[in-house]
Homo-oligomer: A and B are copies of this chain.
Amino acid sequence: MPKGTSIAFIGTGVMGRSMTGHLIDAGNELHVHNRTRQKAQPLLDAGARWHASAGEAAAQAEVVITMLGFPKDVEESYLGEGGILARARRGVLLVDMTTSSPFLARRISEEARARGLQALDAPVSGGDIGAREARLVIMAGGDPAAFERALPILSLMGRNIALQGPAGAGQHCKMANQIACAVGMIAWCEALAYARKAGLDPERVHASISGGAAGSWALTNLGPRALKGDFAPGFYVKHIRKDIGIAIASAKEMGLELPGLECARQLYERVSVSGWDELGTQALYRLYVSL
């Protein structure tokens, strides 16, 4: 992919803004759209062109990237009237980086193929910091040719980039990631809640257990925040709930029983009922402490 590729980027929230910034810095021509125009302003100041809809931005581009909120946003942006599939020019490469449904990814891929377009699902992990530092993990699904074509652009945003299989495989891989995250959250929350209830100093317990077989990224990074009462969102409760919902639906479709994930679903439902949807996922610890 030569420099100066014309790229439409739809969804310039916290993640999308950083990612788009890297694409601009590398000399690409950016066409952006976002539900709230104001959030795109720093990119417009940096030279990106604003468009009133996803379809309109897509019509200007060789490559269309989406980074949206929920599967319904993805569905509407791609399949809605005047949307990306309707407006993109023949031969264009579509890359959905939203964490979304594997089945929707397959449907978009089939529709895209029927219209002479290439599609990839390529959700990411690494959060806002990974996006800012261009070291996202990117998990792709689609045809190898589409993946090869996307790779130079994806490489501007991430580091650990792999084609996991055909359309939907990127989303499936991301679901595997989210399953490990969601259930892993229960692991350390119950450990520290137990320690607290037993009258121990949870911070001292953390220092004893986080470096060994009980250790995890989440225990190391989220445990201390939760113990300090810091529930500010790195990753929102409402978003882990979305992902758990997609993964459970997908597992059900495949006839796979996931009791740990079902337990996480129920617990995060209770976190949500407590009114903590806008807190970070470590708010699960708060639930245990409040029981």
- Give the B-binding residues of A (Cβ under 8 A): 102, 125-127, 130, 137, 139, 160, 162, 164-165, 168-169, 172-173, 175-184, 186-195, 197-201, 204-205, 207-209, 211-219, 221, 235, 247, 250-251, 254-261, 263-264, 266-267, 288, 291
Please tell me if the beta carbons of B127 and A213 are within 8 angstroms of each other in the complex. Answer: yes
A291 to B198, CA, bound (A): 36
Please give the count of copies of this chain that the complex contains.
Answer: 2
Task: Decide yes or no: A266 and B259 within 8 Å by CB, A187-B187, A204-B162, A213-B218 being known contacts.
Answer: yes
A194 to B263, CA, bound (A): 16
Query: What chain B residues lie within 8 Å of A205 (beta carbons)?
Result: 164, 173, 176
Is chain A's interface secondary structure helix, strand, loop, or mixed overall?
helix
Please tell me if the beta carbons of A177 and B208 are within 8 angstroms of each other in the complex. Answer: yes
A213 to B213, CA, bound (A): 16
Please tell me if the beta carbons of B125 and A165 are within 8 angstroms of each other in the complex. Answer: no
A279 → chain B closest CB, angstroms: 16
Please tell me if the beta carbons of B267 and A184 are within 8 angstroms of each other in the complex. Answer: no
Contact residue among B137, B160, B179 (Cβ-Cβ distance under 8 Å from A194): B179
16 contacts between A and B (CB under 8 A): A130-B212, A164-B208, A169-B198, A169-B199, A176-B200, A178-B214, A179-B190, A180-B214, A190-B258, A213-B217, A213-B218, A216-B217, A256-B291, A259-B263, A260-B267, A263-B263
